Amino acid sequence: MNFVNLERVKISKQLKAAHLDLPRAGKLRGAFQKCVEEYYLGQEFPELEVRGLVVTGQSRVGKTRELNKLISDFNDSETPMPDGRPGKIVSCLLSGRVTFKDLGLKTLTALGYPLKGASRTQEYIWERVLDQASRQGVIGIHYDECQHVFSEGAKSNRVFLDSFKSMMKETRWPLMMILSGVPSLATYVKSYEQLDNLLDPVHFNEIKLSRDKDQLVMLLFAFADRVDVDIEKLVTPDFLARLDHACSHRWGLVIELLIKTLVEAKFKNRTELKVKDFAEQFAARTGTPKAYSPFIAPDFLEAFDPKKLYDLHG
């Protein structure tokens, strides 16, 4: 029995490769470019400080997707630094509590230099991080879900904050820090002025239809056009409100549900999407009845709490 349907996989890959540059992507790219330019100048004028970013937003608003795209574009561009080598940035996803030693080991793995750290000191590990970054021309490190290194009142918070600052100020090979996570991350960063002064904030908002309706419509058409599925009759003010509510106002959840719905429609040779297609995929994703969902219920705004719907998406 074959457990992989290659046709469905092909459609999924086609849609997952799609990307629409929303205004927030332009804001992020602009802030990132300024940091890269500051790094470039810093290699020629050491008295200039390296700058970085702290990117925040609620879970599933699309921070990781936008940052991964941006970092991939930068690495693919092979932008040369003053030493003649193309600059690179590596990413490290954090999950659960980690010690500063753990963070060093995860960073080495992201640098392609995994190390068994049981018998190694924290100082040794971080010296290897500096050595590998300088050898490889890595100018920056992106720590995703960075809020996981902090906890309220923990003495280790200061260690992480001071260490991020020290990596940016390291005279032998400074590193541009890109820290991303939920809004609480910004609170921790602001608690340490020396680091806060080095990081430019970029915040990703949740969907607000009164402001983002046109962007949401463009997103829907961009993905549907990718697989030649018609959504002209589907995109009404009522549907947009239901989609926004069903996805708890999170851009990332909208994209995930949209892709799932389009994959199934295209796989079944459907040429047009209808509300019931979204209702079916929402039910499959959340385990709720198809006949009673934000896409079907007449009183969906009162009947469904967006926070509880978010938990259902898993």
Q: What is the largest CA-CA distance in the chain?
A: 65
Specify the CATH number of the domain 23-203: 3.40.50.300
pLDDT of residue 44: 85
pLDDT of residue 112: 96
More confident residue, 143 or 19: 143
Q: What is the DSSP letter of 95?
A: -
Own/partner long-range contacts of 227-232 (Cβ < 8 Å, ≥24 apart): 227/11, 227/14, 227/15, 227/262, 227/266, 228/271, 229/262, 229/265, 229/266, 229/270, 229/271, 229/272, 229/273, 230/271, 230/272, 230/273, 231/272, 231/273
pLDDT of residue 98: 87
CA atoms of 140 and 170, how far apart (whole Å): 12
pLDDT of residue 1: 66
Q: Is the pLDDT of residue 3 over 90?
A: no
What backbone phi and psi angles, to 5 degrees, belong to 6?
Answer: -65, -30
**Taking each helix axis from N to C terminus, what angle separates 275-286 and 306-313, rounded to the nearest 10 degrees?**
70
90 by DSSP, 3-state: which? strand
Task: Tell me how far the alpha carbon of residue 28 is from its chain's centroid.
Answer: 11
Residue extent(s) of CATH 3.40.50.300 domains in the chain: 23-203
12-44 confidence digits (pLDDT tens): 999 998 888 888 899 999 999 999 999 999 988
CA atoms of 156 and 144, how far apart (whole Å): 18
pLDDT of residue 17: 87
Q: Is the pLDDT of residue 237 over 90?
A: yes
pLDDT of residue 93: 94
Q: Position of tokens 């999170």?
A: 250
Q: What is the mean pLDDT of residues 206-218?
A: 96
Mean pLDDT across the chain: 94
pTM of the predicted protein model: 0.93
297 by DSSP, 3-state: which? coil
Percent of the chain with pLDDT over 70: 99
pLDDT of residue 21: 83
Locate 161 and state its tokens.
């904050």
pLDDT of residue 117: 65
CA atoms of 311 and 307, how far apart (whole Å): 7
pLDDT of residue 169: 95
Rg (CA), the chain: 22
Q: Position of tokens 């029995």?
A: 1
282-299 confidence digits (pLDDT tens): 999 999 888 889 999 999
The count of other CB atoms within 10 Å of the CB of residue 143 is 24
The count of other CB atoms within 10 Å of the CB of residue 26 is 10
Q: What is the mean pLDDT of residues 103-121?
A: 89
